[in-house]
């Protein structure tokens, strides 16, 4: 673990990503305490440009709502959706991939055809359809993002398990009479973890983008403000009031960039050989 942090800190871009992420999480957690007012409340005249009033630093939108407060509350939704849907996708993809890779043969064939079935449908289209059918709410959004994003996890885990299961220490566990479940859980998965962690960090970023896209199309949770919704709401007046779309857009850009940088940093830190060769 100590070595992991050492590797991570030696990687400046990963560190920048981590700092961005920490700030975003801090704002999401602590922000609503600083801004107890609901982001839906009208606080000033509509279309107030940014940097004119210190009480509304980023201006107001078409209905006079505070853009900055919206961004703070939006961070909560975006980060939460990203995290929870990724965890849900891992919960589907990891066991499926592990079972397919470990048992092979017919089980592998069946599970992989099932996975491919999901992969052949364009993920964004499927997400739209799912949210539309299930009615837009935070739960249906998380569920649909998880459903469209687990196949890559299953494939990755399957590949890792496939190569790990022929290792001698796995065979040693078989000959000592361990059950398959024990072997997958104790011998194989811990060794397959690093690429999954890297993939997961990038999936959080993709999930945030997906949620933003859904909200932009008006399929977000109507009771929760999110960055994607703000961009969508401001797009009609972008020529008169650029700030309504640009600031939440920047928030999406920066947090996704931060997550990508962290993912790359993790990749280097968890694969020390690759990192050293790159130097």
User: What are the residues binding another protein (CB under 8 A)?
Assistant: 167-169, 171-179, 182, 186-187, 190-191
CB of 198 to another protein, least distance (A): 17
Q: Which is nearer to another protein, 63 or 172 (CB)?
A: 172
Instruction: Supply the DSSP symbol for 187.
Output: I
C-beta closer to another protein: residue 3 or 223 = 3
From the CB of 279, what's the least distance to another protein, in Å? 9
Give the shortest CB-160-to-another protein separation in angstroms. 14
Considering beta carbons, is residue 36 or 168 the nearer one to another protein? 168
Q: How far is the CB of 185 from another protein (least distance, A)?
A: 12
Closest to another protein by CB, 196 vs 225, is: 196
Q: Measured between alpha carbons, how far is residue 121 from residues 82, 101, 104, 112, 207 in Å?
A: 21, 23, 25, 15, 17
Q: Please report how close the Cβ of residue 156 comes to another protein at its closest, in angstroms.
A: 19
Residue 18 C-beta: closest distance to another protein, Å: 24
Rounded distance, CA 198 to CA 79, Å?
Answer: 17
- Please give the structure tokens belonging to residue 59: 């201006």
Name which of 189 and 259 has its Cβ closer to another protein. Answer: 189
Instruction: Look at the alpha carbons of 174, 180, 182, 187 in this order and tell me if their dihedral is positive or negative.
Output: positive
Closest CA to 185 of 164, 199, 212, 206: 164
**How many Cβ atoms from other residues are within 10 Å of residue 263's Cβ?**
20
Cβ–Cβ < 8 Å for 134, 143: yes
Rounded to whole angstroms, the Cα distance separating 5 from 13 reads: 14
- Tell whether the torsion through CA atoms of 134, 136, 142 and 148 is positive or negative: positive
Q: At closest approach, how far in Å is the CB of 191 from another protein?
A: 6
- Is the Cβ of residue 75 or residue 94 nearer to another protein in the bound state? 94
- In the chain the beta strands, taken as DSSP E runs, fall at none
Q: Which residue number, 51 or 185, has a Cβ lying nearer to another protein? A: 185
d(CA 250, CA 225): 16
């Amino acid at each position: 673990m100590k070595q992991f942090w050492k590797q991570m800190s030696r990687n400046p871009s990963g560190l920048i990503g981590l700092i961005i992420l920490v700030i975003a999480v801090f704002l999401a957690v602590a922000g609503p305490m600083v801004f107890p007012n609901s982001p839906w409340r009208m606080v000033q005249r509509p279309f107030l440009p940014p940097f004119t009033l210190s009480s509304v630093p980023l201006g107001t939108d078409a209905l006079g709502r505070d853009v900055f407060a919206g961004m703070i509350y939006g961070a909560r939704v975006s980060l939460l959706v990203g995290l929870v849907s990724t965890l849900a996708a891992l919960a589907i993809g990891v066991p499926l991939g592990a079972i397919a890779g470990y048992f092979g043969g017919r089980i592998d064939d069946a599970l992989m055809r099932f996975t491919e079935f999901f992969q052949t449908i364009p993920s964004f289209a499927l997400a739209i359809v799912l949210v539309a059918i299930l009615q837009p709410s935070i739960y249906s959004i998380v569920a649909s993002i998880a459903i469209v994003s687990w196949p890559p996890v299953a494939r990755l885990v399957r590949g890792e398990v496939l190569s790990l299961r022929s290792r001698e220490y796995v065979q040693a566990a078989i000959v000592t009479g361990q059950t398959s479940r024990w072997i997958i859980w104790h011998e194989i998965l811990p060794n397959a973890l690093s690429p999954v962690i890297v993939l997961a960090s990038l999936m959080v970023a993709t999930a945030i983008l997906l949620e933003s896209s859904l909200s932009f199309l008006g399929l977000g949770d109507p009771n929760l403000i999110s960055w994607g919704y703000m961009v969508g709401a401001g797009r009609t007046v972008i020529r008169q009031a650029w700030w309504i779309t640009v600031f939440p857009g920047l928030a999406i850009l920066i947090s996704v960039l931060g997550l990508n940088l962290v993912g790359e940093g993790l990749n280097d830190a968890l694969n020390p050989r690759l990192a050293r060769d790159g130097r």
